[in-house]
């Protein structure tokens, strides 16, 4: 097994707790599915939100998906003028047999604008 970092992001339509949880679960589930992972494969995850997202911690939604024993952390993105609003990002460190070029980074909804080179 090799340790790899997997990136992902998703946008929110509004800053509401239930909506944040729904979208965070959508993002994390897509990363897990597209990379054939289970929560046991995840070493840690760092979530960030743009400054306009403050209704809850994205990590709380990941715990709902079986990440209770995984070290999770949340932080705030830099407030860059003109940046895409209401974005939740994640960087997951995982144990995988995949080569670096086989890792599937996941950018959903308007977040595809952030990394069109990686978005599927």
Catalytic residue among 7, 25, 98, 109: 7
Could you confirm whether 49 is annotated as catalytic? no
| Contact criterion met (CB below 8 Å) for 85 and 73 | no
Could you confirm whether 115 is annotated as catalytic? yes
CA 29-13-52 angle, 5° bins = 100
Could you confirm whether 77 is annotated as catalytic? yes
Place of tokens 């992972």: 37
Could you confirm whether 86 is annotated as catalytic? no
Catalytic residue among 22, 25, 77, 98: 77
Could you confirm whether 33 is annotated as catalytic? no
Could you confirm whether 7 is annotated as catalytic? yes
Alpha carbons 19 and 67: distance in angstroms, whole number: 19
Could you confirm whether 63 is annotated as catalytic? yes
Catalytic residue among 25, 63, 98, 109: 63
């Amino acid at each position: 097994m090799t340790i790899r970092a997997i990136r992902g992001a998703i946008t929110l339509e509004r800053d509401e707790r239930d909506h944040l949880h729904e979208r965070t679960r959508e993002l994390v589930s897509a990363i897990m599915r597209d990379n054939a992972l289970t929560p046991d494969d995840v070493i840690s995850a760092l979530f960030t939100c743009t400054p306009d997202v403050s209704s809850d911690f994205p990590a709380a939604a990941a715990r709902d998906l079986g990440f209770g024993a995984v070290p999770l952390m949340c932080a705030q993105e830099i407030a860059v003028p003109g940046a895409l609003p209401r974005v939740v990002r994640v960087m997951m460190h995982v144990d995988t047999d995949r080569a670096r070029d086989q890792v599937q980074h996941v950018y959903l909804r308007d977040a595809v604008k952030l990394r069109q080179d990686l978005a599927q």
